[in-house]
Amino acid sequence: MTERNAVPLPLQDVTPTSDALECIEAHVSAGGSYRRYRHASKALGCDMTFGIFLPPQAVDALCPVVWWLSGLTCTDENFMQKAGAHRVAAERGIILVCPDTSPRDTGIESDDDPLYLGAGAGFYLNATQAPWQAHYRMFDYVTEELPELIRQNFPVAKRCSIMGHSMGGLGALVCGLRLRDRYCAISAFAPMAHPSSAPWGQAAFSAYLGNDPTLWLDYDPCVLVQEELSPADAIPILIDQGDADPYLDEQLCAEDFRDACLSANYPLTLRYQAGYDHSYFFVASFIEEHLHHHADALSKEDDTF
């Protein structure tokens, strides 16, 4: 006898009605729904895409959001396809949102641009220097414009947290530390933790923000974590770092961030994972623990979650 498993609910009731969003891809995943949308961004002056995973609970309940910020050269698709995050997000009733990593098709990127500039390298900052300042305002996009668009179109609770990988880990730390009343938890995989002292960060900051290093401080986690705050305002941070990561010492500077947190008495869990590199194999190996870290922090904000 042939058995047929029940088809997961396709979440038709969670389809946005706004004309501002164009659904360009949709899949049933882990009993929920993974979708990609395109929309016109006022903050960036171009069309942008983002991915969203809606758990089954989103059919009849508001669900908290965990934001994922991806790294250099990535798009909104890498995490959603490679990290294996949907099953735990479905179990814990979490909405995952993954924006693209930069503006696209702005006319200022070229094949000659190095790895740390242009398409795929938005660094989650607001550029102030020509020609980047007209489009590269990723901090405003991921903290203001896109969250408002998500709130208007999907069943999201007020509670949210943020995580990311590499350049996206830098973005998660910066957003979380600058907007401590916004997020319940922060985590990162191999983040660029001290960009002001690392070649990739210095090159990007010089181009996007200018050559005065004092103008970079708003985007350096080692500086932001030193700001005075009460213990109640400290957002828990979890960082996983592979000890076989080829970028560890020169670009990522995990020990600098650990020392800054120790100096500021800031709660940090930094774990070195033996043998792991910088790839999504590393991310996929520990994503479940990170999602539980976020879900546990989010649940403390509301007993109904």
Q: Which residues are catalytic?
A: 166, 245, 278
CA 297 to chain centre: 17
Q: Which of 5, 7, 29 lies closest to 85 in space, CA to CA?
A: 29
Alpha-carbon distance of 97 to 36, in angstroms, equals 10
- Paired tokens of 115: 């790895």
Residue 49 forms beta bridges with which residues? 38
Q: Which of 235, 247, 251 lies closest to 172 in space, CA to CA?
A: 235
Contacts of 2 (CB under 8 A, 6+ apart): none
Pair 299, 305: CB distance under 8 Å? yes
The length of the chain is: 305
Query: 83 in helix, strand or coil?
Result: coil
Residue 205: phi and psi, rounded to 5, are -65, -40
Identify the DSSP state of 69: E
Which helix (H) or strand (E) is 46 found in, with range?
Answer: strand 46-54
